[in-house]
Amino acid sequence: MQKIDFVKNLETIAQKLESVNIVTKFNTGFKQPTIAFNYDTINPLLFLSKSNYDQIKKNIRYSEILTTLNAQSIYTETNLSLLTTILRPSIAQHILTSSYAIALYNFHNSLIQTSSLSKNILQSQSITDSLINEVNNGVVFFQVIIEKEGLKTEQYIKIFTALNELIETISKITNENDQKSEIILLDSGSDSNLGMKSGIETAKSLFLIFKEVWDFITNFQYYKQKQKSQLLLDSLTIK
């Protein structure tokens, strides 16, 4: 798994599992430990979290991370049932004496902290900023799909050369040829992620070119399939 995918997948998991909202509820109660807090407000978030967990747990992008964090132990029916009886209006001491509540808090807090740590360590600030608003930052990200373990050196050279030539041509048209293209991300795993930085207008045009090519390919495939289906229907004799 590439670094950029790992960071994004962690963020998605934390978002889907309502980690920030759950931890925030706990921390609000913990700030005034001698005053009763409505910890039962966590229960709706918990069941929403469970619903989303069931949706993503079999997705290969998230399953390995979830298994490593032992998420399945949090979302068993028995554990959730116990938590609903524990998460009631009470003082923090009663919550902190429950291993089930502590396990829930630690799981979501660890997920948040791991996500934050991975972003700070595995991504530079320029990449983080670019991911937020990539084209307007002059950046276009590509993913090279690799069927085998890797690509030969000359294949990578061909990809970089073709992209560079295309960017240089576009930059001349957009009057940004004084801004040389840069590779700001080259992250290899099962596939390869590639981030190219150029002038803003060049990046926008580059993005649109690949989008239009992709739309043409997908629409053409749909058109061909529709033609085949229609041909089949026309060949049928219904009496």
Helix (H) or strand (E) holding 48: helix 42-56
Structure tokens at 180: 């040389």
When pLDDT is averaged across residues 86-101 and rounded to a whole number, the result is 94
pLDDT, residue 101, reads 95
Flag whether pLDDT at 76 surpasses 70. Answer: yes
Between 24 and 238, whose confidence is greater? 24
Flag whether pLDDT at 126 surpasses 80. Answer: no
d(CA 212, CA 192): 22
d(CA 28, CA 20): 12
When pLDDT is averaged across residues 7-13 and rounded to a whole number, the result is 90
Flag whether pLDDT at 222 surpasses 70. Answer: no
* Mean pLDDT (the chain, rounded): 84
- Neighbouring residues of 100: CB distance < 8 A, sequence distance ≥ 6: 79, 82, 83, 86
Contact 2, 189 (CB under 8 A): yes
Nearest to 2 by CA among 113, 181, 134, 127: 127
What's the predicted TM-score (pTM) here? Answer: 0.61
Task: Give the model's confidence band at 108: pLDDT under 50 very low, under 70 low, under 90 confident, else very high.
Answer: very high
Q: Identify the sign of the CA torsion 102, 6, 123, 11.
A: negative
pLDDT, residue 188, reads 64
Contact 50, 66 (CB under 8 A): no
Strand-pair category, 89-90 with 37-38: antiparallel
**In this predicted model, what pLDDT tens digit does every residue of 169-210 receive, in sequence order?**
999 898 988 888 888 777 665 667 778 888 889 888 888 888
Cα 163 vs. chain centroid, distance in angstroms? 25
CATH topology (fold) of 133-221: Alpha-Beta Plaits (3.30.70)
Cα 47 vs. chain centroid, distance in angstroms? 22
